[in-house]
């Protein structure tokens, strides 16, 4: 009995991948890995009373070679008495339409097809043929991309209803298993082209590590992934406990968290709590980067609002950080400024104080900014508000104006930050776009007695 078979059986038992009477949809490309997986599952068919359904995806890329692969899989399934469904796609067009690589587009359509077949067959599992070589390639690729612990944990043997019985097997063992069973397979010519990142790692990086650094490099990398996965799971369990502790309310499209309690938690857990909160709203958060998570945490401590990819947004009100999925709400705000009375603008997490005293409260606060304006020209009590469509500010002594929209574009201020920038106005005239641009008209003259000061400081300095 081959080494691959014994390893795969142990993997199935170790991770409880199968139960008797299970229905399995398995992807079969015709290559060595997927062919061995189909053969292995069929070997368990009687002992586990399995129902097996194969899916072959024709990517529409390699012409006659792809047609050959399709015929091979159809013949193999017929020989093994496995029902086979063939799906056709134009992956090149899909990749161009979505602006992603052909590799990523191919992966998306495959898993979409697998899930559709799973629902159609009312099946229990999707089986895919990732092995130990794939594991090592994935860890190296993610390391080079700067992944965190979760990414470095590599490919999980079980993820939801997706199982990987061959994950502990080397590709060489898979090929030996096929030879032992006198089973042919197809070699995909694209596997030997260095057009894809994974191929370059497979063809160049791993062989170099094995020959020049450590002959067991591939196995050691895969073992490290297992250790990292266990530690990742443990940290996730701690983060989940904390998430449950600080969750104030959970609705269909929003999760509300106690921001004060969140800010007291270790930053390692904070990041995971935010991602878990987003995952509770939508299972696909692959477009949410570390920068997005850090921006949400910044809002939790300093106030504000952020729009994120995939329809996510976050804002804070009355000490509650709300993670939301759906259309961005209206974030209009308006605060009146009165002489010598501090005003807290929660949307940007800042206090503002208008005063005639330049030294007012100077010892108590660390000011971010102090701005000076001509008091005589401010005839109406100033207000602090968000930007409005058509807003313009005077930019020179001749009265020339410029749209705020153009100023934001020139200064490369992200769109999701513009609505929370305080705009100080008197009547319809803009006095200052805080931290961005002040009106030339309201600049102070030579008369020191007519100076009006506006101080601003962050909430965390209070």
Position 237 in a domain: no
Q: How far apart are the first and last CA of the chain?
A: 72
DSSP readout, 83-137?
Answer: EEEEEE--HHHHHHHHT--HHHHHHHHHHHHHHHHHHHHT-SEEE----HHHHHH
Q: What is the DSSP letter of 440?
A: S
My answer on whether 367 and 293 are in the same domain is no
- Measured CA to CA, the distance from residue 96 to residue 105 in angstroms comes to 9
Position 179 in a domain: yes
- Measured CA to CA, the distance from residue 137 to residue 140 in angstroms comes to 5
Position 240 in a domain: no
- The shares of helix, strand and coil residues in the chain, as percent rounded to the nearest 5, are 45, 20, 35
Q: What is the DSSP letter of 188?
A: P
Backbone angles phi, psi at 192, to 5 degrees: -105, 5
Contact status, residue 57 vs residue 27, Cβ threshold 8 Å = yes
- Measured CA to CA, the distance from residue 290 to residue 312 in angstroms comes to 14
**Residue 292: helix, strand or coil by DSSP?**
helix
My answer on whether 320 and 432 are in the same domain is no
My answer on whether 93 and 123 are in the same domain is yes
My answer on whether 310 and 290 are in the same domain is yes
Print the domain residue range for 287: 252-325
- Measured CA to CA, the distance from residue 104 to residue 109 in angstroms comes to 9
Rounded to two decimals, the pTM is 0.66
Domains: count for the chain: 3
Contact status, residue 425 vs residue 344, Cβ threshold 8 Å = no
Which pLDDT tens digits describe the chain residue by residue (462 residues)?
Answer: 678 999 999 999 999 999 999 999 999 999 999 999 999 999 999 999 999 999 999 987 877 888 899 999 999 999 999 999 999 988 888 888 777 778 888 888 999 999 999 999 999 999 999 999 999 999 999 898 888 888 899 999 999 999 999 999 999 999 999 999 999 999 876 666 666 678 888 889 999 999 999 999 999 998 999 999 999 999 999 999 999 999 998 988 889 999 999 999 999 999 999 999 999 998 888 788 888 999 999 888 888 788 888 889 898 877 889 999 875 555 678 999 998 888 988 777 788 889 887 765 555 555 567 888 988 888 788 999 999 988 999 988 888 999 999 998 888 887 767 887 899 999 889 999 988 899 999 898 877 778 888 888 765 544
- Measured CA to CA, the distance from residue 301 to residue 347 in angstroms comes to 12
Contact status, residue 255 vs residue 323, Cβ threshold 8 Å = yes
CATH value at residue 162:
3.40.50.620
Given 167, 193, 228, the domain boundary residue is 228
My answer on whether 50 and 192 are in the same domain is yes
CATH value at residue 308:
1.20.59.20
């Amino acid at each position: 009995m081959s080494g691959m078979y014994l390893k795969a059986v142990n993997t199935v038992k170790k991770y409880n991948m199968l139960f008797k009477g299970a229905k399995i949809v398995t992807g079969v490309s015709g290559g060595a890995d997927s062919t061995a997986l189909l053969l292995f599952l069929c070997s368990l068919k009687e002992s586990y009373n399995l129902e097996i359904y194969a899916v072959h995806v024709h990517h529409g890329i390699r012409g006659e070679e792809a047609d050959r692969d399709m015929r091979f899989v159809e013949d193999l399934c017929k020989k093994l008495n496995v029902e086979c469904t063939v799906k056709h796609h134009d992956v090149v067009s899909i990749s161009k339409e979505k602006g992603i690589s052909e590799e990523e587009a191919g992966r998306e359509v495959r898993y979409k097809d697998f899930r559709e077949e799973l629902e159609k067959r009312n099946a229990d599992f999707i089986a895919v043929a990732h092995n130990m070589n794939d594991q090592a390639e994935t860890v190296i690729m993610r390391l080079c991309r700067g992944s965190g612990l979760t990414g470095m944990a590599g490919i999980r043997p079980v993820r939801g209803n997706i199982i990987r019985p061959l994950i502990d097997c080397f590709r060489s063992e898979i090929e030996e298993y096929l030879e032992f069973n006198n089973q042919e397979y197809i070699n995909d010519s694209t596997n030997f082209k260095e057009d894809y990142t994974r191929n370059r790692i497979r063809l160049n990086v791993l062989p170099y590590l094995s020959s020049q650094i450590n002959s067991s490099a591939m196995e050691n990398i895969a073992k490290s992934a297992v250790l990292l996965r266990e530690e990742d799971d443990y940290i996730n369990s701690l983060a989940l406990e904390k998430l449950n502790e600080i969750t104030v309310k959970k609705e269909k499209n929003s999760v509300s968290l106690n921001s004060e309690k969140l800010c007291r938690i270790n930053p390692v857990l904070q990041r995971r709590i935010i991602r878990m909160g987003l995952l509770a709203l939508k299972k696909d958060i692959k477009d949410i980067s570390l920068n997005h998570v850090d921006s949400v945490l910044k809002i939790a401590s300093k106030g504000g609002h952020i729009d994120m990819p995939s329809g996510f947004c976050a804002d804070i009100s009355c000490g509650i950080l709300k993670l939301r999925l759906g259309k961005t709400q209206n974030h209009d705000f308006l605060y009146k400024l009165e002489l010598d009375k501090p005003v807290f603008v929660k949307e940007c997490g800042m206090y503002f104080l208008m005063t005639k005293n330049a030294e007012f409260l100077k010892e108590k606060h660390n000011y971010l900014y102090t701005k000076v304006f001509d008091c005589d020209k401010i005839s109406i009590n100033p207000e602090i508000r968000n930007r409005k469509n058509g807003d313009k500010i005077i930019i020179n002594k001749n009265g020339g104006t410029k749209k705020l929209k153009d100023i934001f574009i020139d200064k490369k201020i992200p769109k999701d930050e513009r609505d929370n920038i305080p705009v100080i106005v008197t009547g319809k005239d803009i006095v200052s776009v805080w931290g961005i641009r002040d009106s030339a008209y309201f600049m102070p003259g030579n008369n020191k007695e007519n100076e009006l000061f506006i101080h601003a400081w962050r909430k965390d300095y209070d």
